[in-house]
Structure 1
Amino acid sequence: MTIKLLAIGKTDHTDLQSLIDDYQKRLGFYVKFEFEIIPDLKKTKNLSEDQQKQKEGELILGKLNSTDVMIVLDENGKQLDSVNFSQYLQKHMNSGIKQLVFVIGGPYGFSPEVYQKANGKLSLSKMTFSHQMIRLFMIEQLYRGFTILKNEPYHHR
């Protein structure tokens, strides 16, 4: 199985990008992992929030294969602790799917079409974080999940 993280817009903080790169490299020891950035929309000044979500949604949906299982990261999604998240990952790996795709939307969230296509919604916290920070948190939680599944000590450090 491949795990893919899709996100809108590049990370412009070099320290944050360095941490993302570190966890991405670590994660590669456990699972095939891809991190794909969808470029920020240009000329959004004249777009409403709904129009921006619609355009971003089209870009997100255009990156999916018909067999992908897509999970959106959403403030109203299901919250899991790290152990339950590791079990969530294991369940998906056991199901035989080819690709599990986690999606971090733009600043206004997702279009109705993305929600409709989603196979689930997860929330990393009730708090609001920047979209750039969520990338790091998600990749770290994926890494943590695999270390839990392998009974490695990282989770308890």
Structure 2
Amino acid sequence: MTIKLLCIGKTDNKSLISLITEYEKRLSFYVKFTFEIIPDIKNSKNLSEAQQKQKEGELILGKINTTDALILLDENGKQHDSIAFSNYLQKHMNSGIKQLVFVIGGPYGFSEDVYKKSNGKISLSKMTFSHQMIRLFFIEQLYRGFTILRNEPYHHR
């Protein structure tokens, strides 16, 4: 199985980029992982919130295959602790899907079309974090999940 993380907009913070790269490298020992950035919509300040979500949604859906499982990182999604999230990953690996795609949307969330296409929603916290920091937090949790599945000492129970 491949895990893909799709994000809207680039990260400018060199410290975050360095940490994200470190966890991507660690994660590669456990699973094929791809991290893809969809560029910000040009002239978005001239668009309404709904128009921006619609345009971003079209770009997101253009990156999804019909056989992918699409999971949205959404504030209204189900929350898991790290052990439950590792079990969530294992369940998807056991299901036989080829690619599990997680998506971090733009500043206004997702379009209705993206919600309709999705196979689920998860939330990392009730708190709000920047879209740039969520990337690091999520990739770290993926790594943590795989170390839990392998009974490795990274996660102290």
TM-score (norm 2): 0.99
Provide the rounded CA distance (Å) in 2 between the counterparts of 1:48 and 1:62: 21
CA-to-aligned-CA distance 1:62-96 (integer Å, 9 cap, x gap): 00011000000000000000000000000000000
Structure 2's unaligned 5+ residue stretches are none
CA-to-aligned-CA distance 1:15-70 (integer Å, 9 cap, x gap): 00000000000000000000000001100111000000000000000000110000
Residue 113 of structure 2 is aligned to residue 96 of structure 1: no
Provide the rounded CA distance (Å) in 2 between the counterparts of 1:104 and 1:44: 18
Structure 1's unaligned 5+ residue stretches are none
Q: Please state how far the C-alpha of 1:156 moved relative to its aligned partner.
A: 1.3
SS of 2:24's equivalent?
helix
Partner of 2:152: 152
Q: Which amino acid aligns with 1:2?
A: T
Q: Which amino acid aligns with 1:40?
A: D
Percent identity of paired positions between Structure 1 and Structure 2: 81
Q: Which amino acid aligns with 2:4?
A: K
CA-to-aligned-CA distance 1:112-148 (integer Å, 9 cap, x gap): 0000000000000000000000000000000000000
Partner of 1:46: 46
Partner of 1:111: 111
Provide the rounded CA distance (Å) in 1 between the counterparts of 2:153 and 2:4: 25
Partner of 2:143: 143
Q: Which amino acid aligns with 1:64?
A: I
Provide the rounded CA distance (Å) in 2 between the counterparts of 1:90 and 1:45: 41
Provide the rounded CA distance (Å) in 2 between the counterparts of 1:133 and 1:21: 13
Partner of 1:32: 32
- How many residues align structurally? 157
TM-score (norm 1): 0.99
SS of 1:74's equivalent?
strand
